């Protein structure tokens, strides 16, 4: 055998062996910006374990937390070109890709956690998850992200009047910005990774989020008032790139979907435990917990709902959600 033929033969062996290895243990990379202590991260770890178990090791999910592969925007862009398989974003971010996600960010759209679960797990939620596919983003499941409330640096917020003159960080969501304006504050979109510094430097006077995110981000080191007005219950969304999704076999898709849904149920239990723990911890760190007047806040948001009457499709979706019993 000539030298050239030998090199070609060895190269062919390497290629075949590599393909066999990929087929034997395909890996999906999942990246997100949360701390490894966050309950949503633990939910994703649980999902990876289930996929490994269901597939007998034929399909694996590798998780890159804490912004290792980029923050939310970068991860979304990587999904869209198929360079990353999965990520987690807030449902409010998905408003930019699919209008139906907007209704999940409406203030006081959910009566309680049980109501939100019925919506997420039912036909409405499952339909919304498919709406981003034309932008190469397919939803797999919703993770509980609890109720969002305001936290501030200089003064407590007990009613909407207390927000006047305050710059409040919001996600890049028109719904979130309209809500803060309705309450009397000045909404300021800032990326999550830049928020700690923005709070320190006075770029914003406060922000709004759930208690685990408030705690694990260490924003309580800067903001000493946490006002439980619980204005929204915006879920997190686990996304997969449609570029990657289309390459999976039907069996692989089944493993991923089943594992994602099972992990969502598991994550809800972790979330409830984490909320209680995080509230206790921020109090120990000197944060004052304020039980705000929810009715005063709720009374301010009717104009937001009225504006949707000009969009019959979304307004119908709002009415369907409100009609769902617990």
- Poorest-pLDDT segment among 5-9, 80-84, 154-158: 5-9
Reply yes or no on whether the pLDDT at 326 is more than 80: no
Read off the pTM.
0.85
Reply yes or no on whether the pLDDT at 20 is more than 80: no
Nearest CA among 202, 205, 199, 196 for reference residue 167: 205
CB half-sphere exposure, 50, CA atoms < 13 A: 19
- Poorest-pLDDT segment among 8-17, 110-119, 259-268, 290-299: 8-17
CA pair distance 71, 89, nearest whole angstrom:
10
Q: Give yes or no for a contact between 147 and 233, defined as CB atoms under 8 angstroms apart.
A: yes
Domains annotated on the chain, with CATH:
3-90+114-143+235-268 (3.40.190.170), 148-233+278-323 (3.40.190.170)
Reply yes or no on whether the pLDDT at 23 is more than 60: no
Confidence at residue 16, expressed as pLDDT on a 0 to 100 scale: 39
Reply yes or no on whether the pLDDT at 89 is more than 90: yes
Q: Give yes or no for a contact between 151 and 207, defined as CB atoms under 8 angstroms apart.
A: yes
Q: How many CB atoms lie within 10 A of CB 19?
A: 10
Who's near 3: CB < 8 A, 6+ residues apart?
A: none
Nearest CA among 118, 117, 123 for reference residue 100: 123
Reply yes or no on whether the pLDDT at 2 is more than 80: no
Nearest CA among 318, 286, 150 for reference residue 230: 150
Confidence at residue 193, expressed as pLDDT on a 0 to 100 scale: 86
* Per-residue model confidence as pLDDT tens digits over 191-216: 888 999 999 999 999 999 999 999 99
Ranges of beta strands (E only) in the chain are 26-31, 59-64, 86-90, 137-143, 148-152, 167-170, 186-189, 206-209, 225-232, 236-241, 288-290
């Amino acid at each position: 055998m000539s030298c050239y033929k030998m090199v070609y033969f060895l190269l062919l062996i390497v290629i075949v062996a590599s393909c066999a290895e990929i087929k034997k243990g395909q890996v999906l990379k999942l990246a997100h910006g949360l701390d490894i202590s966050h309950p949503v991260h633990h939910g994703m770890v649980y999902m990876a374990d289930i996929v490994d178990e269901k597939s007998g090791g034929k399909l694996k999910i590798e998780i890159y937390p804490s912004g290792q592969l980029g923050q939310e925007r970068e991860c979304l862009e990587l999904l869209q070109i198929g360079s990353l398989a999965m990520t987690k974003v807030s449902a409010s971010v998905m408003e930019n890709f699919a209008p139906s996600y907007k209704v999940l960010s409406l203030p006081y759209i959910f009566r309680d956690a049980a109501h939100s679960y019925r919506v997420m797990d039912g036909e409405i939620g499952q339909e919304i998850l498919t709406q981003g596919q034309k932008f190469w983003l397919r939803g797999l499941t919703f993770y509980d992200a609890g109720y969002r409330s305001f936290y501030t640096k200089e003064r407590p917020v007990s009613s909407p009047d207390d927000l006047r003159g305050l710059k409040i960080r919001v996600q890049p969501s028109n719904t979130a910005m309209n809500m803060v304006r309705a309450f009397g504050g000045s909404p300021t979109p800032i990326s999550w990774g830049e928020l700690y510094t923005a709070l320190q430097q006075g770029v914003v006077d406060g922000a709004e989020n759930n208690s685990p995110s408030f705690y694990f981000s260490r924003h309580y080191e800067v903001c000493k008032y946490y006002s439980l007005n619980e204005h929204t219950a915006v879920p997190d969304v686990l996304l997969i790139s449609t570029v990657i999704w289309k390459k999976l076999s039907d069996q692989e898709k089944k493993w991923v979907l089943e594992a994602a849904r099972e992990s969502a149920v598991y994550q809800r239990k972790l979330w409830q435990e984490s909320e209680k723990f995080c509230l206790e911890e921020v109090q120990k760190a000197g944060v004052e917990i304020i039980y705000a007047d929810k009715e005063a806040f709720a009374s301010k948001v009717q104009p937001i709902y009225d504006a949707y009457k000009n969009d019959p499709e979304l307004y119908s979706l709002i009415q369907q959600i409100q009609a769902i019993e617990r």
